Structure 1
Amino acid sequence: MGGTWAKVSSLRLVSGALGLASSYQLYQETHKIYKQKLEELNTLQATFSSSIQKQKRGLEDLQRSFQRCKHNCSLEELELIQQINNQIKDRQNVFFDMEAYLPKKNGLYLNLVLGNVNVTLLSNQAKFAYKDEYEKFKLYLTIILLLGAVACRFVLHYRVTDEVFNFLLVWYYCTLTIRESILISNGSRIKGWWVSHHYVSTFLSGVMLTWPDGLMYQMFRNQFLAFSIFQSCVQFLQYYYQSGCLYRLRALGERNQLDLTVEGFQSWMWRGLTFLLPFLFFGHFWQLYNAITLFELSRHKDCKEWQVFVLALTFLVLFLGNFLTTLKVVHTKFQKNKLKKL
């Protein structure tokens, strides 16, 4: 009986080993096919990317030729040129969407931070997942920064806790700039001042982190923490407001699926903005107030820190960028509304 069980066990072991060997061979063949398909994909991507670049250069040359011909054309020819220019712009937008699925060279900032690493996400699912994770990251860190600012302002009156808070600000804005750059490489259309805003904020937070404790620092500390509390509250309100706007516009097909919430005002945020706009402008002028306060502190007889004047200039840059950009969008929107009524 024992010999029979031993034979059955041996047969099972042999059968299992043969099954594993067969599976291993299948995995090897599948891996070989997978590598072959990857090489084919890389070749196809390189060929397609080169073709798109040639097409884009051809369209740009055509636009320049039309621009030179405009001065010597009749009205009919001008209308025809305008129609062709509109078609060229539509085609350029299509090429932009196509390139979002092709590997491309990183910009200077991503090259400095990540090196020459391909950050292109090749599926819609991966792009949307990364975008949603970016939005959640902004929301969670906004809440953490709000709690940190409240704690530093009202409970923890220590320089070391201030440094932890300022370091968190530096890390937050640095991370945002990297994630935004990756999203832009994958087809997100965020541009202009709202991209630069995070770089300037990173610089400002870094200078705040290096500001040594002293009379000047203590004179500005509470004002800065109060401003941080207000800014976090406004960003929290903006997140929910902009998320609702983007959800509605994406459902209507009026916005790109990779559009992001931003720490400012854009034209698509117009609906129902009468509630939020005063808070935005108040925050902008608080930045100006911070700049004026710091300029006055820089002229104080006991002021020896370089950080005071640099922070004053940085807050002034933030105020000008935020205020003028918001004002420009509001003015453009009013002009469009006037044209619609006419």
Structure 2
Amino acid sequence: MAQGITHILEEWRSLEEEYQQLQDTHRTYLQKLDEVSTLQKKCSFSISHQRKRLHEMTHLVKKCSKETSEADARTMDELKEKIKMLPSAFSDMEAFLPKKNGLYLNLVLGNVNVTLLSKQSKFAYKDEYEKFKLYLTVLLLLFSFICYFFVSYRFLDAILNFLLVWYYCTLTIRESILITNGSRIKGWWVVHHYISAFLSGVMLTWPDGKLYKTFRNQFLAYCLYQSFVQCLQCYYQSGCLYRLRALGERHNMDLTVEGFQSWMWKGLTFLLPFLFFGHFWQLFNSLSLFRMAQLPDCKEGQVLLCGLCFLILFMGNFVTTVAVLRQKVKSRNQKPKSV
């Protein structure tokens, strides 16, 4: 037999051995997947059962608290503290278990499991989300700057508005996935992106005309300012979160947001004037649009819709920021008393 054929046969035998090892490894992998799936179902059932028992225990404690003596009151207080800790522990466990998507994710993605099952995957997705926000904010800042100072074409304005629609819609999807994976972003800052996406869509459909040209520069200046403030927030909030996570004071899946949070207090209060100025600019935009809607030659429905969106954004942003400030000031005033 020729030497070349002998070498080929040896290589083939080696390949067959490696293939056999691959089959064994893949068989083990499938077996482990089945085991993981079984464990996931067992954990989900156990958490659901524990929640039910905890609910019953809470009612029992409330009943007993009315009838206990002063000596037993301490024991009951300790038990109440332990009961309060369990729901957050259950939530931390569920962050690593498959769960059903919310209505929005079901509409956009269908019934697809979006739960990331390892800490590394969760952190990588969260960091990629933060980079996406920063890069797109810088891009929007540059685009708004060009449209405001150098170019005055409706086509480029449409591209900017389309980019805003895509950006905010993408944020809502990514944030829903992050919430499914244990992120604590909630409340107004989630709703804020839905309204902003709708507002950008309405601006995109606003036909070119006298009223659009009247509001155009005001809107572009607002976009320019908002992008600048968001860049500031992204930079300083990410640094603040990094320090607080290192100290164990914040959850690892916490995100930067377009607003003021209680954990931003140390070293970041200088952002407040920028934020409040942006909030009142939204109110100014709303009032300007409402005045335009009252003009005799106003026939576009986009004028009133944009005015309503800006008003809702102002009210939500302003009320939420003031509520966070009041809560923070109240907690700081209570600390000396407790000491």
Q: Deviations over 1:139-197 (max 9, x none)?
A: 00000000011111111201110000000000000111111111111111111111111
Task: Give the whole-Å Cα distance in 2 for the aligned partners of 1:311 and 1:70.
Answer: 54
Pick one of 200, 215, 223 that aligns with 1:220.
215
- Structure 1 residues not aligned, in runs of 5+: 1-5
Once the two structures are overlaid, the 10-residue window that deviates more, 190-199 or 76-85, is: 76-85
Q: Deviations over 1:223-246 (max 9, x none)?
A: 000000000010011111101110
The corresponding residue for 2:327 is 332
The corresponding residue for 1:250 is 245
Task: Give the whole-Å Cα distance in 2 for the aligned partners of 1:57 and 1:161.
Answer: 56
Instruction: Classify the secondary structure of the residue corresponding to 2:267.
Output: coil
Pick one of 121, 125, 131 that aligns with 1:130.
125
Task: Give the whole-Å Cα distance in 2 for the aligned partners of 1:121 and 1:55.
Answer: 23
* Aligned residue identity for 2:218: Q
- Structure 2 residues not aligned, in runs of 5+: none
* Aligned residue identity for 1:206: G
Pairwise CA distance, 1:93: 1.0
* Aligned residue identity for 2:142: L
Pick one of 83, 99, 118 that aligns with 2:113.
118
* Aligned residue identity for 2:297: D
TM value normalised by structure 1: 0.95
Q: How many aligned residue pairs are there?
A: 337
The corresponding residue for 1:276 is 271
Matched, 1:58 2:53: yes
Q: Deviations over 1:289-323 (max 9, x none)?
A: 01100110111111011111111111111001000
Matched, 1:86 2:81: yes
The corresponding residue for 1:3 is none
TM value normalised by structure 2: 0.95
* Aligned residue identity for 1:234: V
After superposition, residues 285-300 of structure 1 pair within 5 angstroms as 285-300=280-295
Runs of 4+ more than 3 Å apart: 64-82
Pick one of 172, 181, 185 that aligns with 2:180.
185
Pairwise CA distance, 1:76: 5.5
Q: Are the structure 2 counterparts of residues 72 and 322 from structure 1 closer, same or farther at C-alpha, using a change threshold of 3 Å?
A: farther
Q: Are the structure 2 counterparts of residues 69 and 156 from structure 1 closer, same or farther at C-alpha, using a change threshold of 3 Å?
A: farther
Q: Are the structure 2 counterparts of residues 70 and 295 from structure 1 closer, same or farther at C-alpha, using a change threshold of 3 Å?
A: farther
CA RMSD of aligned residues (A): 1.5
Pairwise CA distance, 1:222: 0.5
* Aligned residue identity for 2:160: F
Task: Give the whole-Å Cα distance in 1 for the aligned partners of 2:59 and 2:227.
Answer: 46
The corresponding residue for 1:311 is 306
Task: Give the whole-Å Cα distance in 2 for the aligned partners of 1:323 and 1:77.
Answer: 46
Pairwise CA distance, 1:82: 3.7
Matched, 1:159 2:149: no
